[in-house]
Chain A
Amino acid sequence: MTDSKYFTTTKKGEIFELKAELNSDKKEKKKEAVKKVIASMTVGKDVSALFPDVVNCMQTDNLELKKLVYLYLMNYAKSQPDMAIMAVNTFVKDCEDPNPLIRALAVRTMGCIRVDKITEYLCEPLRKCLKDEDPYVRKTAAVCVAKLHDINAQLVEDQGFLDTLKDLISDSNPMVVANAVAALSEIAESHPNSNLMDLNPQTINKLLTALNECTEWGQIFILDCLANYTPRDDRESQSICERVTPRLSHANSAVVLSAVKVLMKFMEMLPKDLDYYGTLLKKLAPPLVTLLSAEPELQYVALRNINLIVQRRPEILKHEMKVFFVKYNDPIYVKLEKLDIMIRLASQANIAQVLAELKEYATEVDVDFVRKAVRAIGRCAIKVEQSAERCVSTLLDLIQTKVNYVVQEAIVVIKDIFRKYPNKYESVIATLCENLDSLDEPEARAAMIWIVGEYAERIDNADELLESFLEGFHDESTQVQLQLLTAIVKLFLKKPTETQELVQQVLSLATQDSDNPDLRDRGYIYWRLLSTDPVAAKEVVLAEKPLISEETDLIEPTLLEELICHIGTLASVYHKPPSAFVEGSRGVQHKRLPGSAGSGESESPDAGSAGGVSEAPPAVIPSQGDLLGDLLNLDLTPPTATGPPPPSSGMQMGAMDLLGGGLDSLMGDESEPPHIPPRTHTPQSPQLPHQSPSPPDYSPTELGGDLGGSPAMGSGFGGPPAAMPASFSAPVSGGLDDLFDLGGGVGMPMGAYSPPKTIWLPAMKAKGLEILGTFARRAGVIQMEMTLTNKAMSVMSDFAIQFNRNSFGLAPAGPLQVLTPLSPNQSIEVALPLNTVGPIMKMEPLNNLQVAVKNNIDVFYFSCQYPISMLFVEDGTMDRQVFLATWKDIPNDNEAQFQIKDCHLNSDAASNKLQGSNIFTIAKRTVEGQDMLYQSIKLTNGIWVLAELKVQAGNPNFMVSLKCRAPEVSQCVFQSYEAVLKN
C-alpha cells in the first residue's frame, strides 16, 4: 500500500468525507484521514475548511499524528487565527512533556504559527525552554526567539529574550552556541544599527571555536558572520585565516565558498611579502578546482565566483587553465562561464592551448556558444599581443567556413583587433569584403562599414561598397546608419574628388529624412564642419583614435571589491552590488575590503578611515551622452543667449563658435591620452545636459574618436533620444539654418531639478556663521551646495561637517573643502559630494537631514530637508514587462494619489522635465484625450517607485498615482514631482 491512495478520493464531497473520517472514533482512521488531508495540501488543494476537525486530532499520544497535525497547523493557522487559538493549550502542555523531542517540537511549531494572538501565550513556555535541561530543547528555543522577533520585535525585547540569547553564547553545548549566534545575527539584521552582534576579538574567538564543532550548515553561517568582521591588524587577520583554512577541505561546497570569502577578504590585510601570504594563495587553488567537478548547478555558482576571484587575484588560478576547458556535454550556462574565465586567465604562457581550444569550440553545435567562442578569440588577440597574428589567422580560417553567424562574429572582433593594432593586419580586408553580402546582423554590418570607412584609402572600391549600403539606408538600424554616415564622411575626406555626390546624399538622408535625433545631430555637425573648415573636419573626423583597452569587460574596481566581500551570495552570481536587490528601507551596508595595515597600526573600523578603500561612490565615468551634452550646451548657449542673430552672419558666427573655438582647445592639449571607458561599464543612461554648464571636462581626443564614429562609441550615441524632439518636430528645410533650431532645442531648461538655496543656519544662531544651501544631483553625484558667510568679526577656519544617521544613509563623501580661512564678511561657495553608504535611521519627515558643522569657534547643528529627487538614480528605467508585473503585484493599499495643480505643460514637456530628474517615462497611453504616462523611479537604496501621471489637454491639474513597496516615500516623491514640474 502506498500513499497514492490518499489522492484517490472522489472529487465531489471530498471535504465532507474527510470531515467524517477526521471525527471518527478509531485512531487509525483518524490518522489515515489526516494523511489524506496532508496529501491534498502537498498538491496545492485548499483544505483549510477542515481546520477545526484537524485541530481536534491534536490531543494525542501518537507522535506521528501530532506531527501531521502540526504540519497542517503551520500551513493554515494564518488564515484561521481564531481557530488557531484552540491549539494553544495543547502547545503549552506539550512544552511540559517529559519527552524532550515533544517539548522541542511544540516550541518549534508555535514559533512557526505567525498569529499575533498566539505569541503572547508563547512567551512563558519559551522562557522555560530556553533554560531547559536538554540542549536539544535549548537550541530549538534559541531559534524560536528569532522567529518570535520577526512576528513581534517589541515583545521579544520587553520579555528580555535577547539577553537570554546572549547568555546562550556561553552555553556548554556547541550546537546551542551556534544556534544562539545564528538567532542573534538574524535579529541584528533587522536592526542594522543595534549592537546585538558586535563582533570583537572575544566573540570572534567563540565563533571560531564553534566553527570546529558545529554542523556544515552552521559552519556556513558562522563563516559568513566572520566575513563581516574587520580584524585589528595583520596578525589577527592571519590567525583567523589559519583557523578558517581547514574549512577548505569540507565536502559541502557552500562551506568551501564561504571560507574562500573570509580568506579573500582577510588576505587584503596581510603584507604581500609575508610567507604566509604565499602559502595561503597556494591553498586557495585546489578547493576552487575541486568545485568544478561537482554537479553543474554547483559549478555554475562556483564559476561566477571564480570569475570575480580571478579578476581580483589572477595569480591564484593562473596555472589551472585546463580545468576550465569545456566538455561537450556541459550545460550551456556552464560552458559560457568557463569560456569567460579562460579569457581572463589567458596569457602568453598558455595562449597556444587556449586558441586551440577556442577553435575547437567554434565548430560546436550551440550557436550562442560558438559566437562567444569566436568573440573570445578576438579578446585573446587584444589581451595577448604576441598571439594577435595567430588569432587573426584563426579568425580567417573560421571566415572560410562560411557559416553565417561565425563570419559575422569574426568580422565584429576583427574590427576590434584593428582598433588595437592599427596598420598591422589590413591585408585581410580583401577577405572580409568578400563576405559583405552575407552580413545581416546590424553589429556585423556596422563593424564592416567602420572597417571600410577607416581604411577607405586602401580599398579601391570603397565608394561602391558604401554606396551599396546606402540604398536601404532607412531600413538599417541606428547603429548601422551612424556608422555609414561617419564612414562616408571619412571616405570623402580621404578621396574628396570622386565622392562628393555620395557624401551629399548621406548628409541629406541623415539630416532631412531621418527622425532620429542622434543621427541628425551627427549629420549637422559633419555638414557644418565640412562646409566651414574642411581642414578642421579632417582633424576631427580622422583624428587618431585611442587604442582600445586590453580588457573591455572588467568589473569596475570598487564594485569588484564589494562583490569580493559577497562571495557566495546572489550578488556574486549576478555581479551586481547587493543594493541592487534591496527593496525597502532596511539597512544596506556597502562592504569594502579592508586595506593592508602595518602590524603596529591600529585603525578604527570606522568606514571613513578604514584602510583607505572606503572612498565614497565610484568616480563617475563620463558617458558619451554626457560629453555630447556638455559640448552642445557649452557651445550653443552663446547664440541663443544673445537672441536670434541675423541669419547669414550669425550662421557663420555660430559655426565658428560651435567648432572653431572648440577645436583649438580640443587639439591643443594632447598631453594626457584619455582612457576610453570600458565598453560595458556600469550601465548608465546618458545624462542630460546640466542646467548650468559645467566646465568642459571632457577629454579632447576622445571627442575626436567619438565623432570619428568608432563602433564602440556609437553605442553612446545610440542612447535614448534624450529630450530633443519637441523642437525638431517642425519640418526641417535642410541646410545650416536648422542649427539654430537645434540650439533652441538644446537651450531648453534640462537637468535635474535643484531648489534654490535657502537659509539653513542663520548667523544669529551660529556665532556669526551663516549657511545657505541646497541639494543637487550632478552627473549622478549628489551634492550639497552651500554658501558659507562669515558675519562675525573674527576669522573662521577648520571647517568640518557631519551628518546624523538618516533615512537613506546620506553621508559626506569627503571632507568639507574650505581650504582658506574665512575672513569677516567673506562668503565661500562649497559643493560637498555625498554618498549613500552611511548609517541608516528612519527620519521624520523621511527626507530630514540633521547636520553638524564645526569651525574653530564651535559646533553648530541644524536640520534641512533634501528633495528626494536627488536620490533618483540614472538607471531608473524599468523594463515595461517588469513594470506591469510590479504594478499589479504591489497591493492597492500602497497606492497614493496626489493632485498637482496649475501646471501648464503638455505631457511631452512634462515627461522631458521629469526625465531630467531621473523620473523615466517608460510608456505612454492616450485615452480619450487624456495622456497617461507610466513612469519609474529608482532610489539610491534600490527602492522602486512606479507612477502613473494623468495629463488632460487644457486641464492644468495633473493627477499622479504612486505605487511603491515602501509607501512612506510616496509623499516625498510627490513633493518632488510638484517641485520639478513647476520649476
Chain B
Amino acid sequence: MSTKRNFIDLQRHLKDRTRGAFSAAHTLLPYWHRVTHQWQLESAAEMIHSLFLINHTGDIFLEKHWKSVISRGVCDYFLEVKEKAVEPENVPPVLQTPHHYLISIYRDKLFFLSVIQTEVPPLFVIEFLHRVADTFQDYFGECSESIIKDNVVTVYELLEEMLDNGFPLATESNILKEMIKPPTILRSVVNTLTVLLFFPGSSNVGDKLPTGQLSNIPWRRAAVKYTNNEAYFDVIEEIDAILDKSGMTVFAEIQGVIEACTRLSGMPDLTLSFMNPRLLDDVSFHPCVRFKRWESERVLSFIPPDGNFTLMTYHVSSQNLVAIPVYVKQNISFFETGSCGRLDITIGPKQTMGKMVEGLMVTVHMPKAVLSVNLTASQGNYTYDLATKVLVWDIGKLNPQKPPNLRGTLSVQSGAPRPEENPALDIKLKIQQLAISGLKVNRLDMYGEKYKPFKGVKYMTKAGKFQVRT
C-alpha cells in the first residue's frame, strides 16, 4: 500500500469529524494537577473521578475509576434524563446530582460519562472525553462497544496512561503509541514505520521513555529517517449555511482545516505562506506553529510533528460573502383536505467556480404524520425510512445541464391534522480541488535539512451543516 493512499484514507476518516475533534492530540501531556479553583466539595485532588461508557440503550459496559470506586448507581441520574430526552443527542452535557456532577459526550452512539466531584472547567472535561474517543478511534479503527470490549485491556491501559489520579497525563497519539502498542491486527493494516520501529518485541507496552516527552519540541521524536521525504497538505473547507425558503442565504460561514502529513527526516523547519491570508477571521494552530511569525508576517513557520496532524483550523465568518455552490428549489406542501401532500425538489449549480459537484445528497426529516412517499428521481436513488421518517436522496454527481429533480406525492396518515412544521433539507456535497473561500497556498519552503522533499497541496470543499428551510 503506498504511503499516499494511506494518507488519503486517514484524511477521510479524520475529516469525518467536526472541528473540535480535530484538535486531537497536540503535544504530550505532562503530569498536571488542578491549579486554581478555590473551592470544592469536601476533599481535594482529582478532576475526573470516574469514567463510564454507556451504549445508546443505556447499558454501562465499562467503568474506570481513577481514585476510589464510585458505584455505578450514580449513572441512574443520567439514565433518567436520557430516558426523558428521547433522542440521545438531546441529553444535556452537564448534569447535577446531589453529590456529583456528570459531564458527558455522545459520540459514535456511545456516551462517555465522567463523574466529577470538584469544580473543574467543564470544557476541560469535554475536550478530554473527546480526546479519549479520538484515541480509541485511532487505536482500533473505530469507536464502538464491541471493539472496546474486544480490546478492553488496551483500553484500560490507555485510560490509565491518559489520566493520572484524574488529571490528563499523555493524550498525544504519538506519545501514547510509544508507550502502548495498538492492537496487532491494526498494526499490520496501518503498517507505518513508527509502529515497527518502536514495538519490536511482543509486549503490548513500550518500555522506553517516549523521546518527545521533555524536549523543547515535544511533538516530534528525534532521529526520524525516511528514504522518501514527503510533505502533504490538505486544505479542507466545510460550508455551514442556512438558506431560507426562497433560496436566500440567511447565514453562511466556512470552517476550514489544514491537515498535514509530513514524512521528513531530521529536524526540518517549514514555512508555509498563503496568497491571501487576510481572508481568515479566526485561526487555531497546532502548538508547533510559531504564533509570533503569524502575527507579524502571516506565514506559518513550524517544525512539524512526524506523520499526520492538524496544522491549523480556521474560520471565515458570515461577514464575508460566502459562495454557495448549489441552488435548491423546493416545494413541500400538504393539502388542507385529503391525506396527501406534494414534494418537488430541484438542485442546480450556482457558484461552483467551474468545478464538479460530487457526492450530492439530500436528507429530509419528514413530519411524523407522513406515512409513505411515492416519488420519482430524475437522477440517483431515494429511500424513505418509515421508522425514522427520514427521506434520503442520493444524487451523486451534479449534472449542470440537467439539474436533478425529485418529485411526487406524500401520503399522510388519514385523520391526522395537517402537519404544522416544515421539514428542513440537509444537503451534503463535495467539490474536489477547490477551497470555496478562495484560500490558496502560495509556497512551502524547508530549512534546516539538505534534501529536497516531495511537496503536495490538495483542496477540497464539503457541505458542513448545510440546511435549506422549507
- The residues of A with any CB-CB pair to B shorter than 8 Å are 2-4, 6-7, 35, 38-39, 41-44, 62-64, 67-68, 71, 75, 78, 99-101, 108, 111-112, 114, 134-136, 139-140, 142-143, 146-147, 150, 173, 175, 178-179, 181-183, 185-186, 189-190, 192, 213-218, 220-222, 224-225, 227-228, 246, 249-254, 256-258, 286-287, 289-290, 293-298, 300-302, 319-320, 322-323, 325, 327-329, 331-333, 357, 360, 363-365, 401, 403, 568-571, 573-574, 578-579, 581-584, 586-589, 591, 882, 885-886, 889, 965
Contacts and interface: CB of A to CB of B under 8 A. Distances in A.
A75 B284 CA distance: 39
Contacts of B365: 328-329
B255 interface: yes
A228 B35 CA distance: 10
Contacts of B454: none
A35 B120 CA distance: 33
A220 B21 CA distance: 18
Contacts of B335: none
B307 to A, nearest CB: 17
A330 B26 CA distance: 28
Given A185-B33, A323-B318, A325-B242, 11 more contacts: A43-B62, A189-B34, A254-B121, A287-B282, A289-B317, A297-B104, A297-B106, A329-B426, A360-B244, A571-B119, A587-B39
A147 B67 CA distance: 11
A228 B39 CA distance: 13
A183 B30 CA distance: 12
B36 A185 contact: yes
A839 to B, nearest CB: 12
B65 to A, nearest CB: 7
B10 to A, nearest CB: 18
Contact of B33 (A143, A363, A401): A143
B123 A254 contact: yes
A186 B284 contact: no
Contacts of B224: none
Given A190-B44, A325-B251, A333-B90, A179 B39 contact: no
A935 to B, nearest CB: 17
Nearest to B168: A217
B124 A254 contact: yes
Given A78-B68, A220-B121, A363-B421, A300 B93 contact: yes
Contact of A249 (B19, B155, B204, B284): B284
Contacts of A44: 60, 63, 72
Nearest to A214: B30
A399 to B, nearest CB: 14
Given A216-B27, A294-B18, A300-B93, A401 B420 contact: yes
Contacts of A882: 98
A179 B31 contact: yes
A33 to B, nearest CB: 12
Given A39-B153, A254-B121, A221 B40 contact: no
A41 to B, nearest CB: 8
Nearest to B203: A64
A587 B153 contact: no
B205 A179 contact: no
Given A78-B68, A570-B101, A253 B26 contact: no
B285 A251 contact: yes
A846 B123 CA distance: 38
Nearest to A46: B69
Main SS at interface, chain A: helix
Nearest to B42: A584
22 contacts: A41-B156, A43-B63, A44-B72, A213-B216, A215-B27, A217-B29, A217-B32, A221-B34, A293-B240, A293-B255, A293-B315, A295-B21, A295-B105, A297-B106, A302-B123, A319-B319, A323-B318, A327-B465, A360-B469, A582-B39, A582-B40, A889-B99
Interface string B99-122: 101001110000000001001111
* The 4 A-B residue pairs with the shortest CB-CB distance in the complex, in nearest-first order: A286-B282, A251-B23, A2-B150, A221-B35
Contact of A323 (B123, B128, B317): B317
Interface string B48-65: 000000000000111111
A749 to B, nearest CB: 35
Contacts of B216: 213
Contacts of A364: 421
B43 interface: yes
A35 B119 contact: no
Contacts of A75: 65, 69
Contacts of A401: 420
Contact of B284 (A251, A331, A571, A579): A251
A403 B171 CA distance: 51
A42 B153 CA distance: 9
A3 B149 contact: yes
Interface string B245-261: 00000110101000000
Interface in B149-164: 149-157, 160, 164
Contacts of A222: 35
Contacts of A99: 207-209
Interface of B: 18-23, 26-45, 60-69, 72, 85, 87, 89-90, 92-94, 96, 98-99, 101, 104-106, 116, 119-124, 126-128, 130, 149-157, 160, 164-165, 167-168, 171, 183, 203-209, 213-214, 216, 218, 240, 242, 244, 250-251, 253, 255, 281-287, 291, 295, 310, 313, 315, 317-319, 365, 367, 420-422, 424, 426, 464-465, 467, 469
Contact of B92 (A111, A178, A333): A333
Nearest to B60: A44
A2 B38 contact: no
Contact of A179 (B32, B165, B204, B281): B32
B36 A221 contact: yes
A6 B287 CA distance: 40
A886 to B, nearest CB: 5
B35 A186 contact: yes
A41 B20 CA distance: 32
User: In the complex, which of the residues B31, B89, B310 has the most CB atoms of chain A within 10 Å of its own CB atom?
Assistant: B31
Nearest to A965: B42
B302 to A, nearest CB: 13
A62 B468 CA distance: 59
Contacts of A41: 156
A150 B43 CA distance: 8
Contact of B30 (A139, A150, A582): A139
A968 to B, nearest CB: 14
A332 B126 CA distance: 18
A111 B169 CA distance: 15
Given A249-B291, A298-B123, A570-B94, A101 B207 contact: yes
A254 B33 contact: no
B426 A322 contact: no
Contacts of B93: 296-297, 300-301, 333
User: In the complex, which of the residues A101, A139, A250, A294 has the most CB atoms of chain B within 10 Å of its own CB atom?
Assistant: A294
User: In the complex, which of the residues B20, B251, B315 has the most CB atoms of chain A within 10 Å of its own CB atom?
Assistant: B20
A855 to B, nearest CB: 35
A568 B93 CA distance: 14
Contact of A327 (B122, B157, B281, B467): B467
B33 A251 contact: no
Contacts of A62: 203
Nearest to A286: B282
Contacts of A134: 209
Contacts of A573: 94, 122
A588 B39 contact: yes
Nearest to A365: B421
B36 A228 contact: yes
Contacts of B150: 2-4
B338 to A, nearest CB: 20
A889 B45 contact: no
Contacts of B31: 108, 139-140, 142-143, 179
A95 to B, nearest CB: 15
A302 B155 CA distance: 30
Contacts of B214: 135-136, 173, 175
